Structure 1
Amino acid sequence: MKEYIPLPGSTKEKILTSALDIFTKQRFEETNINEIAKKANVTTGAIYHHFGSKSKLLDIIKREVEQRIVDRMEGVIDLFETPLEKVEAALKTGLDFVIKKKMSYLFIDAQGLEANKVYMLVEELCGETGIKGLESMIYSAWISIIDSVTNSELTIEDGKNLIIWLVKKN
């Protein structure tokens, strides 16, 4: 069992649930630790005691959300044969999940790619194509598409069409 999985109704669970709700509605920089504490009905000290900092709390939440997305992506890639078909299906599935669950800000904010489970899956799939550097370009475009859909600059269907175009160009 992972150390951060809280017991239902526990202080840890209240903090994680409240923080997830807040981090999905606004960017990390806009989020105040007091806001999370108030929503969870705990003290800021409880947050620091259980998680150490706002950024560590966000890291735990991101890892959990990334795993949910990767699970869905891995489920869909088994339906396809070629690496580029797998990349396209995985990214479209991930886009659907992120937008429908309103978790865009967890991906739009800057993060290290080396620990990002979604990036690592994209890297693995793109590695099968033999096209060097494809994973960085595809992943960056995916994040930009999420940002554009979140800001109503694109529809989710436009985003999926861009993913198709990107994959077909490679």
Structure 2
Amino acid sequence: MREWIPVPTSAKGRLALAAVRAFGARPFDAVSVGDLAAEANVTTGAIYHHFGSKLGLYGFVRADVEQRLLDRMAGAASSVAGDRDSIAAVLGVGFDFAVRLEFQRILADAPTAVAGDALADLLDTLVAPAAPPLGRVLAAAWRAAVLATCDGGDVEAARAALLMLRLAR
């Protein structure tokens, strides 16, 4: 459970909201500290004060957005539990969430090795006792479909391709 929830009107809250929008739409390297500060109407020093660095801010918002994704996917999994074809429904719920809220870039990036891969871990639990790397394979396919929608990519084509995934019986 997070100890702090951003108050949208605080400098920290405005930075978090600006970062979600910026990192959801553009790759990490394409977002500057100046861009973030300007959008949040703060100085660049506020980023360092509240988050230590641009990477610290990115990590903060990525963790928040990823947790929202995982909550939705876990909820979808519980509503279709026991159906081996349900993995497509779970992937579809996550895909729709990422695209609808414009979180494609931040969620399409694989997490750093240090952070682990919570999406792959969730998918592993949903497809157990299938082959152990299956959750990682599904997470990579999900991220590829989400990334395909960036920069004007065909959302419906990417969603259709993702929903073609089915587990063998």
Give the TM-score of the pair, scaled to structure 1: 0.86
Q: Distance in 2 between matches of 1:34 and 1:153?
A: 28
Contact 1:86 1:125 in 2 (8 A): no
Relative to 1, partners in 2 of residues 1:119 and 1:86: Cα closer, same or farther, differing over 3 Å? same
Contact 2:120 2:138 in 1 (8 A): no
Q: Which residue of 2 aligns with 1:160?
A: 159
Relative to 1, partners in 2 of residues 1:6 and 1:132: Cα closer, same or farther, differing over 3 Å? closer
Q: Distance in 2 between matches of 1:15 and 1:153?
A: 28
Give the TM-score of the pair, scaled to structure 2: 0.87
Q: Which residue of 2 aligns with 1:34?
A: 34
Q: Which runs of 5+ in 1 are unaligned?
A: none
Q: Distance in 2 between matches of 1:85 and 1:79?
A: 13
Please show how residues 65-144 of structure 1 align to structure 2 within 5 Å: 65-82=65-82, 84-112=84-112, 114-126=115-127, 128-144=128-144
Contact 2:149 2:155 in 1 (8 A): yes
- Output the amino acid matched with 2:160: N
Contact 1:22 1:36 in 2 (8 A): yes
Shift of 1:151: 4.1
Q: Distance in 2 between matches of 1:53 and 1:83?
A: 44
Deviates more, 1:30-39 or 1:160-169: 160-169
- Output the amino acid matched with 2:124: E
Deviations 1:31-58 (A, max 9, x none): 1001111111111111101000111111
Contact 2:104 2:146 in 1 (8 A): yes
Shift of 1:68: 1.0
Q: Distance in 1 between matches of 2:38 and 2:16?
A: 13
Contact 1:23 1:105 in 2 (8 A): yes
Q: Structure 1 vs Structure 2: percent identity of aligned residues?
A: 29
Q: What CA RMSD, in Å, does the superposition of the two structures yield over aligned residues?
A: 2.1
The alignment covers a number of residue pairs equal to 168
Q: Distance in 2 between matches of 1:152 and 1:31?
A: 19
Give the secondary structure class of the aligned counterpart of 1:78: helix
- Output the amino acid matched with 1:132: P
Give the secondary structure class of the aligned counterpart of 1:84: coil
Q: Which residue of 2 aligns with 1:63?
A: 63
Shift of 1:27: 0.9
Shift of 1:137: 1.2
Give the secondary structure class of the aligned counterpart of 1:45: helix
- Output the amino acid matched with 1:165: M
Give the secondary structure class of the aligned counterpart of 2:81: coil
